[in-house]
Amino acid sequence: MADQLVLPIFPLPDVTFFPHTFLPLHVFETRYRAMVTDALARDRRLAVVRLRPGFEARYEGKPEVFAVAGAGEIVSCERLASGRFNILVKGQWRVRIDAELPSDTLYLVVRARRLEDAPAGDVKQLVERIRASCRRLLQSLDRPLDVLDGALGPDETAGAIADRVAAAFLPDPSLRQSLLETLDVGDRLQRVAQALDDLADELKGS
């Protein structure tokens, strides 16, 4: 089926990988260096999945991970003299892990299916509220506003805007994972907008 994928997974603590974003990663563990090498030789695809709390006890084996992850393509790779990698992954899909597949690799390989956004209704006001909140946050942090021009431009979809803002502005790992799992774009936008308001209030009070 077209929505089925076979992917190696890169589990990380408190990292949420959203579609429509880029994720730089420094890869140093032996098994994940092997994963990158194999991915580059195949289709350059992998999934970045968040480890569940308490993963430390099983990290060397098969630690528990969240079922919904971000998946994408390695678009840039630098192999260092040490054998480590610096890679840049372009987020393409939300995926749900359905099953671990038999593999003789040091890393885990899974079967996953793509998750599609649920169509949004009229969300123009929510999108504008989010853009305005991002501007205010950048101003309060003395950051340039032109970073918004491309990422949150008028030609971008509402789902992409929600994902990019969540990735760039919202630090809470549990909230980010929950937003990754939220397929209703209107609901995702509403939650992002509220989280931005909460963040702005925190900055005012600090």
Across the strands, what pairs with 78? 86
pLDDT at 1: 46
Cα of 10 vs its chain's centroid, Å: 12
Q: If DSSP codes are grouped into helix, strand and coil, which group holds residue 173?
A: helix
- DSSP assignment of 13-40 equals TT----TT-EEEEEE-SHHHHHHHHHHH
For the cut 60, the answer to whether the pLDDT of residue 145 exceeds it is yes
CATH number for 4-115 (one of 3.40.640.10, 2.30.130.40, 3.40.50.620, 3.20.20.70): it is: 2.30.130.40
Q: Which CATH architecture has domain 124-205?
A: Up-down Bundle (1.20)
Residues of the chain with CATH 1.20.58: 124-205
pLDDT at 26: 96
pLDDT at 199: 86
> Using CA atoms, how far apart are residues 164 and 181, in angstroms rounded to an integer?
15
> Using CA atoms, how far apart are residues 46 and 191, in angstroms rounded to an integer?
28
For the cut 80, the answer to whether the pLDDT of residue 149 exceeds it is no
Position 18 confidence tier, pLDDT thresholds 50, 70, 90: very high
Mean of the per-residue pLDDT values of the chain: 89
Position 54 confidence tier, pLDDT thresholds 50, 70, 90: low
Give the CA distances from residue 117 to residues 42, 78, 127, 184, in Å, rounded to whole numbers and listed in that order.
28, 33, 16, 6
Q: What is the pLDDT of residues 124-133, one digit of tens each?
A: 999 999 988 8
Give the residue among 38, 101, 100 at the shortest CA–CA distance from 67.
Answer: 100
> Using CA atoms, how far apart are residues 111 and 201, in angstroms rounded to an integer?
42
C-beta separation of 139 from 204 below 8 A? no
For the cut 60, the answer to whether the pLDDT of residue 105 exceeds it is yes
190 Cβ partners below 8 Å, 6+ apart?
126
For the cut 50, the answer to whether the pLDDT of residue 122 exceeds it is yes
Phi, psi of 12 (to 5 degrees): -140, 145
Q: What is the pLDDT of residues 169-197, one digit of tens each?
A: 999 999 999 999 999 999 999 999 999 98
For the cut 60, the answer to whether the pLDDT of residue 56 exceeds it is no
- DSSP assignment of 96-148 equals EEEEEPP-SSSS-EEEEEEEPPBPP-S-HHHHHHHHHHHHHHHHHTT--TTHH
Residues of the chain with CATH 2.30.130.40: 4-115
For the cut 90, the answer to whether the pLDDT of residue 134 exceeds it is no
For the cut 80, the answer to whether the pLDDT of residue 78 exceeds it is yes
Q: What is the pLDDT of residues 150-176, one digit of tens each?
A: 677 778 899 999 999 999 999 999 999
